[in-house]
Structure 1
Amino acid sequence: MHTNETKYFIGIDLGSSFIKMSLYDFNNKKEIDSITYPKNEMEIISQKEGWAEQDPNLWWDNIKQCLKYLKERNDLSFVKSIGISYQMHGLVAVDKNGKSLFNSIIWCDSRAISIGNKALKNLDNKVISNSLLNSPGNFTASKIRWVKENKPELYSSIYKFMLPGDFIVFKLSGNITTTPLGLSEGIMWDFGKRNLSMDIIEYFGIEKEKVPKVVPSIGLQDVVSYDNCMRFGFSESVSIAYRAGDQPNNAFSLSVVSDGEIAATAGTSAVIYCVTEKDISDPKNKVNTFLHCNDEKNKKRNGVLLCINGSGIAYSWLRKTLKFDSYQEMDNISENVDSSQGLTFFPFGNGSERLFNNSKNLKSMINGLDFNRHNDSHIIRAVLEGISFSLCYGIEYLREIGLKVDIIKVGNSNLFKSKLFREIFVNISKANLHLYDTNGAMGAARGAALGNGDYKNESEAFSDLKLIEKIIPLHSKSLEESYNNWKKLLNKLI
């Protein structure tokens, strides 16, 4: 029987493919319910080559379905706060009535690359290296400028622009806000002045009044509206106390919160995320520095992010193409062979890749296919190798720019559920892998408890985080040869 002390927290993880939602029991320190929705991946709309869009209202509809599911199985009157993780870098725009004006231009959309490249040439180098720490690239600010140049009638109707997580907070609360973390991932944050970057806002001609009110990433941001409280069975005082992009949140969910700690994930995209106290600006623009979710004025925390766009989306494409019922079945079949027998895969089919300076010559491909030797097992293994090799290639670059990559923390989800993928990654990266029983939605739920003041600090929030396994690198001559051959072919392509 519930007591008056019962406290629940909800974590929402808005991905490109699915909505994942966790219900966290604060007193018993465990997830008591969860849902992944919808059954099949959400559609990414691509009207032109390099474009990637999603309907933000579909996100909200799916979130409502998740909350309905939890309500039917649990007493949500005990929910105290909600935390939100979301796909980064996307653009949502609404008019004065709060109506979205067009599909969200999401993270893997490449249409604004030329705008970002032009800004990189025209802006003062000190603005790039000292203030923004990044090229504007094809991030949110560049996307806003693209709309202004190409859809001026729509741009003039924009009341506020938002990141995807901001839109979900708006739908829950009725108020439009963003966070310092959100501005930084959109390349609209001045790291020196710790405020909105007027350099980029003025350069792109974005009116300041279109920028939402800024609230803390961790802490009281807003409250759920009365109508939504009644709809979902909440009490009338449910706060929204945590908001972070999916990669900072993945790190947070693994208790990667201090200088030198590293997290990784391999969902739709694959990412290595390094927490640092330093303001790191990569002159080659292969990696990016954003605020970490626990950054404070007197406790600087940034996240250096290396991204491979084509990761889980490549594995999903393969499952649909080969008509497998489950990823587990694919994982099992991949272990039937000891090598890919010379088959090479490049996963670069989900928009431009920053690690390779957005090279237009780089495409996804399977190379070396032999109809007499290769079967499903070889193809699946080659895809797992190609994704893992891409991450390891990126780790080589992180080490080149001075970051120490010795221990990497990951959750037991997405491609890291695959034993073979983990082994390839560890043996080629030469990094120790710590596998934890957590996920992004659980991280957002813990973040809500921290932001709501129920946890005193980060250490307390993660005191019960469960370590499943530690995996150490082993030497594999055949795997090393496969990786070296993969790099040789890659170098010809780029």
Structure 2
Amino acid sequence: MLLIGIDVGTSSVKVSVVDAATQRAIVSAQYPDTESPITALKPGWAEQSPDMWWEQAQQAIKQCNNSDKYDPQDIAAIGIAYQMHGLVLVDKDQNALRDSIIWCDSRAVPYGDKAYNTLGHEYCLAHYLNSPGNFTAAKLAWVKANEPETYSKIDKLMLPGDYIAMKLTGEVTTSASALSEGIFYDFLSDGLSTELLSYFGFDKSFFGDIKPLFSEHGKVSTEMASQLGLKAGIPVAYKAGDQPNNALSLNVLKAGEVAATAGTSGVIYGVSDQLAYDPESRVNTFAHVNHAADDKHLGVLLCINGTGSMNRWAKNTFGTDLNYQQMNDLAASAPIGSAGIRILPFGNGAERMLNNKEVGAHIHNLDLNLHDRSHVFRAVQEGIACSFRYGLDIMRSNGMNPTVIRAGRSNMFLSDLFTEAFVNVTGVPVELYENDGSVGAALGAGIGSRIFANEAEAFANIESLKTVSPTTDAYEGVYADWKELLSQRLAVTK
């Protein structure tokens, strides 16, 4: 029995075909080979085409099928993971009305802030566990105010993964987890928030049928099955945002368990059984993949926009002749503390953990007679690690105190230097695993289609590759310097 997992990322779409018997990937494919573009028509804006994601998903599926390592007709279910908080709008013919306003776009912050103040801070935090911020609801409010012609044509509102599922099946569905990440879900009434819809003037008909996350979200149509070489009628049995899905892929499902990723954005994601929230909404709480009204599982999410995006900028600016491994090797040749360079990696939109301020990226203490690119490369990775520490301290102040963090050995966790900086700055060991988002989505499909009896069966074979533990306190001074520079920057940023 085979399962397909589709992971719709910001940089590319990755697809894995997983054998349900072993829970291992038979083959994986990523499309494109280069990183996907982000359109920024104005400062702070970020958009991508939903049809680009769909084309990439098709190409990655076809690459897997062309590997000849399995029979595509043996695929039994499909799962989808996706970049969170993106706004996708379609008309009655299921055509995208505009490019998606994606997760790192900052334009909707004023709309979310006004809703937060009007509805009331206590009300929003109690009912949504978050401020509306620049999440999907606020993005839709921006479209309503600034693109009324587009708004008038809306038939359905979706998140990025919903669009891929719609293209496969022709059906539009949602879940409590999806609605919560858009700030459309009322945790106290366990349903779509009529108060928020009324405040913004949104039509309830914009939303697809609310279904359990682990369930059938439509069957692959005859047309799409023929186009992709699959069987018609196989279910899309799982859809989840990339961070809840990453936690699932690492078997992080119980209260107190914590996962991390360091891709385009950086995330620490902990599971709680309490309807808790950060009073300043700097970290955010959403319904986890296994959340139910009578069995609460919440994901507490710290997000740092400027993570892999900062590392990519450094490579594109100073290391065009290097691959990432060579860049990491050069960074490792510089001393701890990067000979004084400190980098604030916040140049990818408004940062939620900084109260939605657009701080920007900054390089401090650059000495033209002392420093070379190895110091810059190291300072980037240390600055990102310090960002994680800053956010983790916020999570700790709200009761999330991990003793170990699980992470997939991918993206920045492929760098031994970054992994060591992360554990030494945060003081928390990291367990590294092979699984990634596309494998997690495939296993989610196995759970949703009842190929696995339960979550435990889906992860019966998961094994840690290694554990990296703190070994030095040398980063404490680095972090103290870094935090002071951030404090100074925050003081002058509106």
TM-score range, shorter chain: over 0.9
Question: How far, CA to CA, are the matches of 1:22 and 1:444 in structure 2?
Answer: 9
Matching residue of 1:34: 28
Give the structure 1 partner of residue 42 of structure 2: 48
Provide the TM-score with structure 2 as the length reference: 0.97
1:170 aligns with 2:199: no
TM-score by length of 1: 0.97
User: Counterpart amino acid of 1:12?
Assistant: I
Q: Please list the CA deviations of residues 75-116 of structure 1 after superposition, one character each: whole Å capped at 9, or x if unmatched.
A: 200000000000000000011111111100000000010011
Q: Map Cα deviations across residues 94-153 of structure 1 (whole Å, 9 max, x no partner).
A: 111111111000000000100111111100344312211110000000111111111111
The answer to whether the 8 A contact 1:127-1:199 is kept is no
Give the structure 1 partner of residue 395 of structure 2: 398
**Which residue is 2:129 aligned to?**
133
Instruction: Give the Cα–Cα distance (whole angstroms) in 1 for the partners of residues 23 and 247 of structure 2.
Output: 19
Alpha-carbon distance in structure 1 between the residues aligned to 2:438 and 2:166: 19
The alpha-carbon deviation at position 199 of structure 1 amounts to 1.1
8 A contact 2:84–2:103 mirrored in 1 = yes
How many Å separate the matches in 2 of 1:94 and 1:180?
A: 21
User: Match for 1:412: what amino acid?
Assistant: R
Q: Is the 8 A contact 1:82 1:445 kept in 2?
A: yes
The residue that corresponds to 1:461 in the other structure is: 458
Matched, 1:267 2:266: no
Map 1:338-357 → 2, pairs under 5 A: 338-339=335-336, 340-357=338-355
Contact 2:170 2:218 in 1 (8 A): no
Is the aligned partner of 1:58 residue 2:56?
Answer: no
Alignment pair present for 1:210 and 2:245: no
* Structure 1 residue aligned with 2:298: 302
Distance 1:32 1:264 in 2: 25
Deviation string, structure 1 residues 323-342 (Cα, Å, up to 9, x no partner): 14421111111111223000
Contact 2:22 2:461 in 1 (8 A): no
Name the SS of the counterpart of 2:217 in structure 1.
strand
> 1:82 is paired with a residue of what secondary structure?
strand
Partner Cα distance (2:120, 2:313) in 1: 42
CA-CA distance at 1:231 after TM superposition: 1.6
Q: Does 1:240 align with 2:244?
A: no
Q: Equivalent residue of 1:67, what SS? A: helix
- Equivalent position amino acid for 1:207 in 2: D
Per-residue deviation, residues 181-208 of structure 1 (Å, max 9, x unmatched):
1100000001011100111111111011
Which one-letter code corresponds to 2:150 in the other structure?
Answer: L
Give the letter for the 2:30 counterpart: T
Bigger Cα displacement from structure 2, 134-143 vs 330-339? 330-339
> Hey, what's the Cα distance between the residues in 1 that align with 2:22 and 2:383?
41
Q: Tell me which moved more, 216-225 or 87-96.
A: 216-225
Identity %: 44
Q: Does 1:151 align with 2:151?
A: no
1:28 positional shift = 3.6
* C-alpha distance in 2 between matches for 1:183 and 1:276: 18
Residues 399-449 of structure 1: CA deviation (Å, up to 9, x unaligned): 112221221110000101110101111011111211111100000011111
**Counterpart in the other structure of 1:91:** 87
Q: Whole-Å Cα distance in 2 between the matches of residues 188 and 221 of structure 1? A: 19
Q: Residues of 1 paired with 2:72 and 2:227: CA distance? A: 11
**Residue 418 of structure 1 aligns with which residue?**
415
Which of 204, 208, 225 does residue 229 from structure 1 map onto? Answer: 225
Secondary structure of the residue aligned to 1:298 is: coil
Which of 289, 300, 311 is equivalent to 2:307? Answer: 311
CA displacement, residues 264-284 of structure 1 (integer Å, 9 cap, x when unaligned): 000000011010000112211
Deviation string, structure 1 residues 219-241 (Cα, Å, up to 9, x no partner): 22211111111122222231111
Q: Secondary structure at the match of 1:273?
A: strand
Aligned counterparts, 1:368-387, within 5 A = 368-387=365-384
Q: Identify the residue that residue 429 of structure 1 maps to in structure 2.
A: 426
Q: How far, CA to CA, are the matches of 1:173 and 1:77 in structure 2?
A: 17
Q: Which residues of 2 match residues 112-131 of structure 1 at below 5 A?
A: 112-131=108-127
Distance 1:490 1:351 in 2: 16
Deviates more, 1:77-86 or 1:329-338: 329-338
AA in 1 matched with 2:423: V
Partner-residue secondary structure (3-state), 1:218:
coil
Partner of 1:219, secondary structure, is: coil
Confirm or deny: 8 A CA contact 1:75 1:233 kept in the other structure.
Answer: no
8 Å CA contact 2:23–2:459 kept in 1: the answer is no
| Secondary structure at the counterpart of residue 243 of structure 1 | strand
Matched AA of 1:51: W
Distance 2:60 2:102 in 1: 22
SS in structure 1 of the partner of residue 66 of structure 2:
helix
Is residue 80–residue 237 contact of structure 1 (8 Å, CA) maintained in 2?
no
Inter-CA distance 456–39: structure 2 relative to 1 (3 Å threshold):
same
2:8 is aligned to 14
Q: 2:171 touches 2:217 (CA, 8 Å); kept in 1?
A: no
- Alpha-carbon distance between aligned partners in 1 of 2:23 and 2:282, rounded to the nearest angstrom: 39
Structure-2 separation of matches of 1:124 and 1:374: 49
